[in-house]
Chains A and B, each alone.
Chain A
Amino acid sequence: MPSKKLKNTLPNIKPFILLIVKKTLTIQGMKEPDKIGPELSKINKEIPFRVPDGYFENFSFRLTNKIHAESDVPNRQKFVLFLKPYLVAAVLLIVAILSGIYFFGHQQSKYSEKQFYSEVSRAVEQELYSINEEIILEVMSSETPDKLSDPDVNTEELIDYLLNEDVNEDELLNSL
Protein backbone atom coordinates (compact mmCIF):
# COMPACT_ATOMS: atom_id res chain seq x y z
CA MET A 1 0.00 0.00 0.00
CA PRO A 2 1.43 3.42 -0.89
CA SER A 3 1.98 5.72 2.05
CA LYS A 4 -0.26 8.72 2.63
CA LYS A 5 2.59 11.02 1.61
CA LEU A 6 3.04 9.19 -1.73
CA LYS A 7 -0.75 9.25 -2.32
CA ASN A 8 -0.71 13.03 -1.98
CA THR A 9 2.31 13.42 -4.23
CA LEU A 10 1.10 11.09 -7.05
CA PRO A 11 -1.36 13.53 -8.73
CA ASN A 12 1.40 16.15 -8.91
CA ILE A 13 3.97 13.87 -10.49
CA LYS A 14 1.53 11.98 -12.80
CA PRO A 15 2.17 14.24 -15.85
CA PHE A 16 5.92 13.77 -15.42
CA ILE A 17 5.56 9.98 -15.20
CA LEU A 18 3.46 9.96 -18.39
CA LEU A 19 6.02 12.15 -20.13
CA ILE A 20 8.86 9.80 -19.10
CA VAL A 21 6.89 6.76 -20.34
CA LYS A 22 6.17 8.51 -23.64
CA LYS A 23 9.82 9.53 -24.07
CA THR A 24 10.96 5.98 -23.27
CA LEU A 25 8.56 4.54 -25.85
CA THR A 26 9.72 7.11 -28.40
CA ILE A 27 13.38 6.25 -27.81
CA GLN A 28 12.48 2.56 -27.99
CA GLY A 29 10.63 3.28 -31.24
CA MET A 30 13.65 5.10 -32.63
CA LYS A 31 15.85 2.13 -31.78
CA GLU A 32 13.53 -0.51 -33.21
CA PRO A 33 11.40 1.41 -35.70
CA ASP A 34 10.02 -1.56 -37.61
CA LYS A 35 9.51 -3.96 -34.75
CA ILE A 36 6.01 -5.34 -34.36
CA GLY A 37 4.60 -7.26 -31.41
CA PRO A 38 3.79 -10.96 -31.10
CA GLU A 39 0.06 -10.47 -31.76
CA LEU A 40 0.64 -8.56 -34.97
CA SER A 41 3.10 -11.21 -36.16
CA LYS A 42 0.28 -13.78 -36.19
CA ILE A 43 -1.86 -11.73 -38.57
CA ASN A 44 -1.85 -12.18 -42.34
CA LYS A 45 -0.29 -9.00 -43.69
CA GLU A 46 -2.32 -8.94 -46.90
CA ILE A 47 -4.89 -6.19 -47.31
CA PRO A 48 -8.25 -7.77 -46.43
CA PHE A 49 -10.32 -5.80 -48.96
CA ARG A 50 -11.29 -6.39 -52.55
CA VAL A 51 -12.74 -4.26 -55.33
CA PRO A 52 -15.67 -4.85 -57.72
CA ASP A 53 -14.78 -6.81 -60.86
CA GLY A 54 -13.13 -4.70 -63.56
CA TYR A 55 -12.79 -1.70 -61.24
CA PHE A 56 -9.19 -0.82 -62.09
CA GLU A 57 -9.67 -1.60 -65.79
CA ASN A 58 -12.49 0.95 -66.04
CA PHE A 59 -11.22 3.53 -63.58
CA SER A 60 -9.18 5.55 -66.08
CA PHE A 61 -12.12 5.76 -68.51
CA ARG A 62 -14.55 6.91 -65.78
CA LEU A 63 -12.03 9.43 -64.50
CA THR A 64 -11.45 10.94 -67.96
CA ASN A 65 -15.22 11.32 -68.43
CA LYS A 66 -15.54 13.03 -65.06
CA ILE A 67 -12.68 15.42 -65.80
CA HIS A 68 -14.23 16.37 -69.15
CA ALA A 69 -17.64 16.82 -67.54
CA GLU A 70 -16.19 19.02 -64.77
CA SER A 71 -14.16 21.13 -67.18
CA ASP A 72 -17.30 21.73 -69.27
CA VAL A 73 -19.39 22.91 -66.33
CA PRO A 74 -17.15 25.80 -65.24
CA ASN A 75 -16.91 27.03 -68.86
CA ARG A 76 -20.68 27.01 -69.19
CA GLN A 77 -21.01 28.67 -65.78
CA LYS A 78 -18.42 31.30 -66.72
CA PHE A 79 -20.28 31.98 -69.97
CA VAL A 80 -23.61 32.31 -68.17
CA LEU A 81 -22.03 34.57 -65.55
CA PHE A 82 -20.55 36.72 -68.31
CA LEU A 83 -23.91 36.95 -70.10
CA LYS A 84 -26.01 37.37 -66.96
CA PRO A 85 -26.06 41.22 -66.82
CA TYR A 86 -26.76 41.39 -70.54
CA LEU A 87 -29.51 38.81 -70.26
CA VAL A 88 -31.12 40.70 -67.39
CA ALA A 89 -30.89 43.98 -69.34
CA ALA A 90 -32.35 42.33 -72.44
CA VAL A 91 -35.25 40.85 -70.47
CA LEU A 92 -35.97 44.22 -68.79
CA LEU A 93 -35.88 45.94 -72.17
CA ILE A 94 -38.29 43.42 -73.69
CA VAL A 95 -40.64 43.78 -70.71
CA ALA A 96 -40.49 47.59 -71.02
CA ILE A 97 -41.21 47.45 -74.77
CA LEU A 98 -44.08 45.00 -74.35
CA SER A 99 -45.69 46.96 -71.53
CA GLY A 100 -45.22 50.18 -73.55
CA ILE A 101 -46.93 48.60 -76.53
CA TYR A 102 -49.71 47.31 -74.31
CA PHE A 103 -50.40 50.63 -72.54
CA PHE A 104 -50.02 52.80 -75.64
CA GLY A 105 -52.07 50.43 -77.72
CA HIS A 106 -54.72 50.31 -75.06
CA GLN A 107 -54.86 54.07 -74.73
CA GLN A 108 -54.83 54.54 -78.48
CA SER A 109 -57.65 52.07 -78.98
CA LYS A 110 -59.60 53.83 -76.25
CA TYR A 111 -58.88 57.12 -77.99
CA SER A 112 -59.87 55.82 -81.38
CA GLU A 113 -63.03 54.24 -80.12
CA LYS A 114 -64.31 57.11 -78.03
CA GLN A 115 -62.50 60.23 -79.15
CA PHE A 116 -62.51 59.35 -82.83
CA TYR A 117 -66.26 58.76 -83.03
CA SER A 118 -67.11 61.80 -80.98
CA GLU A 119 -64.76 63.95 -83.06
CA VAL A 120 -66.13 62.58 -86.31
CA SER A 121 -69.73 63.00 -85.29
CA ARG A 122 -68.94 66.52 -84.12
CA ALA A 123 -67.30 67.29 -87.44
CA VAL A 124 -70.20 65.84 -89.38
CA GLU A 125 -72.62 67.84 -87.29
CA GLN A 126 -70.62 71.00 -87.87
CA GLU A 127 -70.48 70.24 -91.56
CA LEU A 128 -74.22 69.79 -91.69
CA TYR A 129 -74.85 72.99 -89.81
CA SER A 130 -72.43 74.82 -92.01
CA ILE A 131 -74.40 73.85 -95.10
CA ASN A 132 -76.52 76.72 -96.11
CA GLU A 133 -80.18 75.93 -96.74
CA GLU A 134 -79.96 77.83 -99.99
CA ILE A 135 -77.27 75.51 -101.20
CA ILE A 136 -79.49 72.56 -100.37
CA LEU A 137 -82.32 74.05 -102.26
CA GLU A 138 -80.03 74.85 -105.15
CA VAL A 139 -78.75 71.29 -105.27
CA MET A 140 -82.25 69.96 -105.06
CA SER A 141 -83.43 72.17 -107.82
CA SER A 142 -80.50 71.37 -110.03
CA GLU A 143 -80.13 67.63 -109.44
CA THR A 144 -83.28 66.24 -107.99
CA PRO A 145 -85.54 66.94 -110.91
CA ASP A 146 -83.31 64.85 -113.15
CA LYS A 147 -83.22 62.00 -110.75
CA LEU A 148 -86.87 62.33 -110.01
CA SER A 149 -87.71 62.79 -113.59
CA ASP A 150 -87.63 59.06 -114.03
CA PRO A 151 -91.04 58.28 -115.36
CA ASP A 152 -91.18 54.97 -113.55
CA VAL A 153 -90.84 56.65 -110.14
CA ASN A 154 -93.56 58.92 -108.97
CA THR A 155 -93.67 61.01 -105.77
CA GLU A 156 -95.96 58.65 -103.91
CA GLU A 157 -93.73 55.70 -104.52
CA LEU A 158 -90.79 57.70 -103.37
CA ILE A 159 -92.57 58.69 -100.14
CA ASP A 160 -93.58 55.07 -99.55
CA TYR A 161 -90.03 53.94 -100.09
CA LEU A 162 -88.69 56.49 -97.66
CA LEU A 163 -91.29 55.59 -95.05
CA ASN A 164 -91.15 51.81 -95.31
CA GLU A 165 -87.54 51.06 -96.15
CA ASP A 166 -84.86 51.23 -93.53
CA VAL A 167 -82.87 53.98 -95.07
CA ASN A 168 -79.82 54.96 -93.15
CA GLU A 169 -79.14 58.65 -92.60
CA ASP A 170 -75.51 58.10 -93.25
CA GLU A 171 -76.27 56.52 -96.59
CA LEU A 172 -78.32 59.50 -97.49
CA LEU A 173 -75.60 61.86 -96.46
CA ASN A 174 -73.03 59.89 -98.40
CA SER A 175 -75.10 59.89 -101.51
CA LEU A 176 -75.53 63.63 -101.48
Chain B
Amino acid sequence: MTSNVADYTDKELTGLFRKPGSREYAFNLIVRKYQEKLYWHIRKLLIDHHDTDDTLQNTFIKVWTGLDNFREDSSLYTWLYRIATNEALSFLGSKKRRFFLPLADVEKQLSGSLKNDEYFNGDELQLKLQNALLTLPEKQRVVFNMKYFDEIKYEDMAEILDTSVGALKASFHHAVKKIEKYITEH
Protein backbone atom coordinates (compact mmCIF):
# COMPACT_ATOMS: atom_id res chain seq x y z
CA MET B 1 0.00 0.00 0.00
CA THR B 2 1.38 3.44 -0.97
CA SER B 3 1.74 5.74 2.01
CA ASN B 4 3.82 8.73 0.88
CA VAL B 5 2.04 11.55 -1.00
CA ALA B 6 4.81 11.69 -3.58
CA ASP B 7 4.32 8.01 -4.36
CA TYR B 8 0.86 8.60 -5.79
CA THR B 9 0.62 9.52 -9.46
CA ASP B 10 -1.84 12.23 -10.47
CA LYS B 11 -3.99 9.59 -12.16
CA GLU B 12 -4.12 7.54 -8.97
CA LEU B 13 -5.10 10.62 -7.00
CA THR B 14 -7.93 11.59 -9.33
CA GLY B 15 -9.08 7.97 -9.38
CA LEU B 16 -9.10 7.90 -5.60
CA PHE B 17 -11.04 11.18 -5.53
CA ARG B 18 -13.83 9.63 -7.63
CA LYS B 19 -14.30 6.77 -5.19
CA PRO B 20 -17.11 7.80 -2.81
CA GLY B 21 -15.37 6.71 0.39
CA SER B 22 -11.97 8.26 -0.28
CA ARG B 23 -12.94 11.63 -1.72
CA GLU B 24 -11.69 13.81 1.17
CA TYR B 25 -8.62 11.66 1.69
CA ALA B 26 -7.62 11.98 -1.98
CA PHE B 27 -8.24 15.72 -1.93
CA ASN B 28 -6.00 16.09 1.12
CA LEU B 29 -3.28 14.16 -0.69
CA ILE B 30 -3.61 16.48 -3.71
CA VAL B 31 -3.38 19.52 -1.43
CA ARG B 32 -0.31 18.15 0.32
CA LYS B 33 1.34 17.29 -2.99
CA TYR B 34 0.77 20.65 -4.68
CA GLN B 35 0.30 23.26 -1.96
CA GLU B 36 3.93 24.44 -1.92
CA LYS B 37 4.38 24.57 -5.68
CA LEU B 38 1.15 26.50 -6.16
CA TYR B 39 1.85 28.74 -3.20
CA TRP B 40 5.18 29.90 -4.64
CA HIS B 41 3.67 30.27 -8.10
CA ILE B 42 0.99 32.61 -6.71
CA ARG B 43 3.32 34.34 -4.27
CA LYS B 44 5.68 35.44 -7.05
CA LEU B 45 2.77 37.18 -8.71
CA LEU B 46 1.03 38.68 -5.69
CA ILE B 47 4.14 39.26 -3.50
CA ASP B 48 2.09 39.58 -0.30
CA HIS B 49 1.81 36.44 1.85
CA HIS B 50 -1.75 37.07 3.06
CA ASP B 51 -3.06 37.73 -0.46
CA THR B 52 -1.29 34.57 -1.57
CA ASP B 53 -2.83 32.55 1.26
CA ASP B 54 -6.36 33.73 0.32
CA THR B 55 -5.77 33.01 -3.36
CA LEU B 56 -4.30 29.58 -2.68
CA GLN B 57 -7.33 28.67 -0.57
CA ASN B 58 -9.67 29.86 -3.33
CA THR B 59 -7.67 27.84 -5.84
CA PHE B 60 -8.10 24.62 -3.85
CA ILE B 61 -11.79 25.35 -3.21
CA LYS B 62 -12.20 25.56 -7.01
CA VAL B 63 -10.29 22.28 -7.30
CA TRP B 64 -12.57 20.66 -4.71
CA THR B 65 -15.73 21.71 -6.55
CA GLY B 66 -14.37 21.18 -10.06
CA LEU B 67 -12.40 17.95 -9.78
CA ASP B 68 -15.49 15.88 -10.59
CA ASN B 69 -15.65 17.55 -13.99
CA PHE B 70 -11.92 17.26 -14.65
CA ARG B 71 -11.79 15.23 -17.87
CA GLU B 72 -8.08 14.40 -17.79
CA ASP B 73 -7.55 15.81 -21.28
CA SER B 74 -4.71 17.66 -19.60
CA SER B 75 -2.65 16.52 -16.63
CA LEU B 76 -3.76 17.32 -13.10
CA TYR B 77 -0.56 19.33 -12.64
CA THR B 78 -1.24 21.71 -15.56
CA TRP B 79 -4.92 21.96 -14.62
CA LEU B 80 -3.99 23.03 -11.07
CA TYR B 81 -1.48 25.59 -12.35
CA ARG B 82 -4.08 27.00 -14.72
CA ILE B 83 -6.59 27.51 -11.89
CA ALA B 84 -3.92 29.05 -9.65
CA THR B 85 -2.76 31.42 -12.41
CA ASN B 86 -6.30 32.53 -13.20
CA GLU B 87 -7.08 33.06 -9.53
CA ALA B 88 -3.93 35.14 -9.04
CA LEU B 89 -4.59 37.28 -12.12
CA SER B 90 -8.24 37.76 -11.08
CA PHE B 91 -7.04 38.82 -7.64
CA LEU B 92 -4.76 41.46 -9.16
CA GLY B 93 -7.63 42.65 -11.34
CA SER B 94 -10.03 42.87 -8.40
CA LYS B 95 -7.43 44.75 -6.36
CA LYS B 96 -7.13 47.27 -9.15
CA ARG B 97 -10.92 47.65 -9.37
CA ARG B 98 -11.34 47.83 -5.60
CA PHE B 99 -8.95 50.74 -5.22
CA PHE B 100 -9.70 52.31 -8.63
CA LEU B 101 -6.01 52.01 -9.49
CA PRO B 102 -4.36 51.49 -12.85
CA LEU B 103 -2.52 48.16 -12.85
CA ALA B 104 0.85 49.94 -12.99
CA ASP B 105 0.00 51.60 -9.65
CA VAL B 106 -0.87 48.26 -8.07
CA GLU B 107 2.53 47.00 -9.12
CA LYS B 108 4.16 50.19 -7.81
CA GLN B 109 2.39 49.65 -4.49
CA LEU B 110 3.61 46.04 -4.36
CA SER B 111 7.13 47.16 -5.17
CA GLY B 112 7.01 49.68 -2.32
CA SER B 113 5.73 47.12 0.17
CA LEU B 114 8.51 44.66 -0.69
CA LYS B 115 11.14 46.60 1.26
CA ASN B 116 9.14 46.41 4.47
CA ASP B 117 7.75 42.93 3.96
CA GLU B 118 8.67 40.79 6.98
CA TYR B 119 8.47 37.71 4.77
CA PHE B 120 10.91 38.99 2.14
CA ASN B 121 14.40 37.73 2.86
CA GLY B 122 16.24 38.47 -0.38
CA ASP B 123 19.38 40.52 -0.91
CA GLU B 124 19.70 43.83 -2.80
CA LEU B 125 19.99 42.19 -6.21
CA GLN B 126 17.01 39.94 -5.57
CA LEU B 127 15.01 42.99 -4.51
CA LYS B 128 16.05 44.72 -7.73
CA LEU B 129 14.93 41.69 -9.75
CA GLN B 130 11.53 41.67 -8.02
CA ASN B 131 11.12 45.37 -8.71
CA ALA B 132 12.11 44.81 -12.34
CA LEU B 133 9.54 42.02 -12.59
CA LEU B 134 6.84 44.34 -11.30
CA THR B 135 7.39 46.63 -14.28
CA LEU B 136 6.49 43.83 -16.73
CA PRO B 137 2.99 43.20 -18.09
CA GLU B 138 1.22 40.59 -15.93
CA LYS B 139 1.32 37.74 -18.43
CA GLN B 140 4.98 38.34 -19.28
CA ARG B 141 5.70 38.18 -15.57
CA VAL B 142 3.87 34.86 -15.32
CA VAL B 143 5.89 33.45 -18.21
CA PHE B 144 9.19 34.69 -16.79
CA ASN B 145 8.48 33.27 -13.32
CA MET B 146 7.43 29.90 -14.64
CA LYS B 147 10.48 29.58 -16.86
CA TYR B 148 13.15 31.25 -14.75
CA PHE B 149 12.25 30.09 -11.23
CA ASP B 150 10.14 26.97 -11.74
CA GLU B 151 11.84 25.76 -14.94
CA ILE B 152 8.55 24.55 -16.38
CA LYS B 153 8.74 23.17 -19.92
CA TYR B 154 7.37 25.44 -22.65
CA GLU B 155 4.97 22.67 -23.72
CA ASP B 156 3.43 22.51 -20.24
CA MET B 157 3.34 26.29 -20.02
CA ALA B 158 1.50 26.38 -23.35
CA GLU B 159 -1.13 24.09 -21.87
CA ILE B 160 -1.40 26.06 -18.63
CA LEU B 161 -1.58 29.48 -20.25
CA ASP B 162 -3.39 28.38 -23.38
CA THR B 163 -0.75 29.99 -25.64
CA SER B 164 1.56 28.70 -28.35
CA VAL B 165 5.09 27.61 -27.49
CA GLY B 166 6.49 30.19 -29.93
CA ALA B 167 4.65 33.05 -28.25
CA LEU B 168 5.90 31.90 -24.85
CA LYS B 169 9.52 31.76 -26.02
CA ALA B 170 9.26 35.26 -27.45
CA SER B 171 7.55 36.50 -24.31
CA PHE B 172 10.32 35.11 -22.10
CA HIS B 173 12.97 36.64 -24.33
CA HIS B 174 11.30 40.09 -24.19
CA ALA B 175 11.00 39.80 -20.42
CA VAL B 176 14.71 38.98 -20.05
CA LYS B 177 15.65 41.99 -22.22
CA LYS B 178 13.50 44.34 -20.16
CA ILE B 179 14.80 42.99 -16.85
CA GLU B 180 18.41 43.29 -17.97
CA LYS B 181 17.74 46.87 -19.02
CA TYR B 182 16.05 47.71 -15.69
CA ILE B 183 18.85 46.21 -13.61
CA THR B 184 21.51 48.07 -15.61
CA GLU B 185 19.70 51.38 -15.24
CA HIS B 186 18.84 51.09 -11.52
Hey, which bits of chain A sit against chain B, CB under 8 A? 25-26, 28-30, 32-40, 42-52, 55-56, 59-60, 62-64, 66-67, 70
Within 8 Å of chain A (Cβ to Cβ): is B69? no
Distance of A26 Cα from B169 Cα, bound (Å): 8
Bound Cα distance A95, B31 (Å): 53
Query: Quick check: A67 and B35 within 8 Å, CB to CB?
Result: no
Interface of B is mostly: helix
Contacts of A42 in B (CB 8 A): 125
Q: List 13 A-B contacts (CB under 8 A).
A: A26-B173, A30-B166, A33-B154, A33-B172, A44-B125, A48-B123, A49-B43, A50-B120, A51-B49, A52-B49, A59-B35, A64-B24, A64-B28
Number of A-B contacts (CB under 8 A): 111
- In the bound complex, what is the Cα–Cα distance between A83 and B107 (angstroms)? 47
Number of residues from B at the complex interface, CB < 8 A: 47
* A40 with B129: CB separation less than 8 A: yes
Chain B residues closer than 8 Å to A46, beta-carbon distance:
126
8 Å CB contacts to A: which residues of B51-85?
A: 53, 56-57, 60-61, 64
Instruction: Provide the residues of chain B in CB contact with A47, threshold 8 Å.
Output: 40, 43-44, 149
CB <8 Å contact, A37 and B176: yes
Partner of B35, one of A29, A36, A48, A56: A56
Given contacts A25-B177, A36-B176, contact A43 B129 (CB under 8 A): yes
* Interface contact B173-A43, CB-CB below 8 Å: no
B125 with A45: CB separation less than 8 A: no
